[in-house]
Amino acid sequence: MSILVLSVSHKTAPVDLLARATMDAATASRLAGGLTGGEHIDEAIVLSTCNRTEVYAHVSRFHHSLEDITGRVAEATGLAPATLQRHCSVFYDEAAVGHLFNVTSGLDSMVVGESQILGQVKDSLSRAQEAGTVGPQLNALFQHGLRVGKRIQSDTEVGRAGQSLMTAALDELYQQGIQLTGQRVVIVGAGSMAALSAHTLAGFGVDLTLVNRTYERAEQLARVVGGTALPMDRLDAALAGADILVTCTGARGTVVTAEQVRESALAAVIDLALPADVEVDAARYAPLITIGLLMERDTDHSTAAQLRDAQKLVADETRNFVAGRRASQVKPTVVALRTMAREVVDAEMARLAGLTPAMAESDRAEVAKTVHRIVEKLLHQPTVRVQEFARSEQEVDYAAALRDLFALDADRVREVLDPASGDPACHPASPQVSRAAQAVSRVPVAEVVE
């Protein structure tokens, strides 16, 4: 079993296609459920944000699983499979681990170092856990990825200097000579991006109004940031007295028309939604800052040295995780070997009991203890070393070598596996990783499937 990732992101797709690929939570959960119901995928997590839609899967067959994922994503998004293939990247095994760690660290974000992605990854994992589409393999991977992301944010300069998407948008305002202090700002939406925007703007001393279809959510956010909440049917009234509009809803259609922007005489509009909330013609009446515009700007303010520090940390964490995963694959074989050794000792002690019925029980117990100690000492160093060897990057199946050396049959090893335990070692990966699959770990899907 191996880890496979299919990714559509701001690095591979234009804004309009990325918007079509974006999924709400319900669609993402249905997609993950459909994937795990197939023959070759036993775990799946779908991560969908305004900048990326990605499927993480634990798979038994590379090409069959890739075809299944591609087809189901195309079906869920309405994109033609050929179009999707041209704008996807695929990551496999170690490259898949490294990709997730780069994502959680904000190093793969449109605005390098932004921290919002951590919450989005955590939410995608929680949804998969609730839906039952994640098991020990992806759970261990995502938990480790979240820890890596937190380390980047707390231990490196890129984490502290990294900007959120909202901060990048505010930079655009400053470049256009628009100041924030004292401005009246309307935020449409009450999700994670809206909350981030509200908290960011509150620090600039603006007058905030929160508008959302679900009034209770707007009211809750307004209480936290010290703003005013209004229901969506009061949007025109809110705009009438506003200077700046920020939109970040999950709506599929237009939320704010160009005519509304014209009538409101806004100083600026920031649209951070995918698909866009604001009609593109609104740019005729006010500066319109969109995700597409931000993608065209160089928003990376981190120095090369800061980036190198963060990238090295991610690379080290990737190697450590992959090494631990390789070592865990040997664990069931080691347990089976020790179990077999105990059974041999028990059988020999039973035979000895038949040959020496007059032996005192205390003497028999001492003999048993001594024999067990001898066996444990003989097995200790080989089993420790084989787990150490398994952590290396050599393409050797140490578990198979151990089975062959001690004549362990597959049934004995399978008896050790307990999928319900939640131990990553309970699902050993395929002994041989295809060199061809490794070679295509970072190429577009079209090149993989052809």
Q: Which residues are catalytic?
A: 50
Helices (H), 297-397: 304-355, 361-390
- Alpha carbon separation from 440 to 93, 302, 339, 423 (Å, rounded): 11, 30, 40, 29
| Of residues 193, 182, 186, the one with CA closest to residue 286 | 186
- Alpha carbon separation from 362 to 154, 294, 356 (Å, rounded): 59, 80, 13
- Backbone φ, ψ for residue 202 (5° rounding): -60, -30
| CA separation for the pair 66, 354 (Å, rounded) | 60
Question: Is the separation of the CB atoms in 78 and 89 below 8 Å?
Answer: no
| CA separation for the pair 189, 195 (Å, rounded) | 8
| Of residues 267, 199, 210, the one with CA closest to residue 235 | 210
Tokens of 100: 């997730």
Tokens of 110: 């449109």
| CA separation for the pair 143, 290 (Å, rounded) | 32
Nearest 5°: the CA angle 312, 115, 52 is 90
Question: Is the separation of the CB atoms in 70 and 449 below 8 Å?
Answer: yes
| Of residues 417, 441, 445, the one with CA closest to residue 135 | 417
Helices (H), 156-232: 157-161, 165-175, 192-202, 215-225
| CA separation for the pair 76, 275 (Å, rounded) | 16
Tokens of 116: 């919002």
